[in-house]
Amino acid sequence: MKTPDLVFRGRRLSSDRALVLAAVDALPSARDATRAAVADGADLVSFAGPGVETLVGWARETFPGLVVGAETADPSVAAACCEAGADLIVAHADLAAVAARFGAGYAAASVPSGVPGAVLDVGEFRLPVPEDVPVLAGVAGDGTPGGLARAALAASAGVAILRTRHVREVRQVAEMAASIAGTRPPAKAVRWE
């Protein structure tokens, strides 16, 4: 269950559990949502929507060690985000050339072979999980008990990155799944009598 080492523009992510990507929309409250996600333990933050380039630049400056991504289908937006400091492009079109030009990581529904930092974005989690490439997945209703159960199943099945808007809860589930699998010690051991 150990997450494969992922390197996005020189930022290495290695963990004994599934990584948590906070999905943040470029809304007026995006900066507050980003601060909350980082405080809740997000390993990565990805921005989507208009003005994403500005948010990427702000996040790079505010959280220098954080892996910052941009979600787009537009090559010019992807390039501008990379220039602003994005480490990862979550692509909705073929943007592999842009990612390669900037040395950024690349997450997409179809990943060309040989692209460094490539992650297969399967959208919503489903079984089986491909084993030849790291997988990024979201879970339906991830803030609900059923969604958290699906997040635990996804982490146990080998999903490398879980996309969520509920960082604290999903991170706890990823840690629990890793503890059950034996790849990390429990955060807190409690003996029931």
Q: What is the pLDDT of residues 37-59, one digit of tens each?
A: 999 999 999 999 988 999 999 99
- Using the predicted structure, report yes or no on whether residue 4 has a pLDDT greater than 80: no
Domain assignments of the chain as residue spans, ordered by start: 3-181
- Using the predicted structure, report yes or no on whether residue 1 has a pLDDT greater than 50: no
CB atoms within 10 A of CB 149: 13
Q: Which of 84, 86, 149, 161 is nearest to 120 (CA)?
A: 161
3-state SS, residue 34: helix
> Among all chains, which residue has been given the structure tokens 């996005």?
8
Q: What is the pLDDT of residue 131?
A: 83
Tell me the pLDDT tens digit for each residue of 176-190: 998 888 887 776 667
What percent of the chain has pLDDT above 90? 65
Mean pLDDT of 52-79: 96
CATH number for the region 3-181 comes to 3.20.20.20
pLDDT-derived band at 8, boundaries 50, 70, 90: confident
Any idea what the Cα angle at residue 109 is, between residues 119 and 184, rounded to 5°? 35
- pTM for the model: 0.89
Distance between the two ends of the chain, CA-based, in angstroms?
30
